[in-house]
Structure 1
Amino acid sequence: MEDLNAILSPGMFVLHPNQPDWGRGQVQSNVNARVTVNFRDQGKVVIDSTRVALVPIFDG
């Protein structure tokens, strides 16, 4: 499967579509289909971006 989060870069904000209770997260890194995100209510999580399409937040 292709990298569903290739456009994400450090500093961008995202939501996890299957974990709404984690709140808003900030991308820390995006390397080799592994996106590290620091979520407000969950902490740092490494996501396999070939399996989960994070939802970018563009409204600040």
Structure 2
Amino acid sequence: MSDLNAILAPGMRVRHPQRPDWGIGQVQSNAGGKITVNFPEAGKVVIEGARVELELVFDA
């Protein structure tokens, strides 16, 4: 898991770097390297933190 993924907490807003069409998602949980994010265009997605480094969104 990347350093950024390790600090993601519920409520934080993120973007999937390979799936911008999913929109800006909200982190639901982050446990054991698996990050659950609710995306407006993809629904609830479980992401393997070791494989994908999510991008933290500060604005929008």
Same fold (TM over 0.5): yes
Paired position in structure 1 for 2:47: 47
Q: Which amino acid aligns with 1:34?
A: K
Q: Aligned partners of 2:59, 2:15: CA distance in 1, in Å? A: 13
Seq. identity, %: 59
Specify which structure has the higher proportion of helix.
2
Q: Aligned partners of 1:59, 1:7: CA distance in 2, in Å? A: 18
Paired position in structure 1 for 2:22: 22
Q: Aligned partners of 1:18, 1:25: CA distance in 2, in Å? A: 13
Q: Aligned partners of 2:59, 2:20: CA distance in 1, in Å? A: 17
Query: Which ranges of structure 2 fall in alignment gaps of 5 or more residues?
Result: none
How does the TM-score come out when normalised to structure 1? 0.92
1:59, distance to aligned residue in structure 2 (A)? 2.0
Moved over 4 A (4+): none
1:58, distance to aligned residue in structure 2 (A)? 1.3
CA RMSD of aligned residues (A): 0.8
Number of equivalences: 58
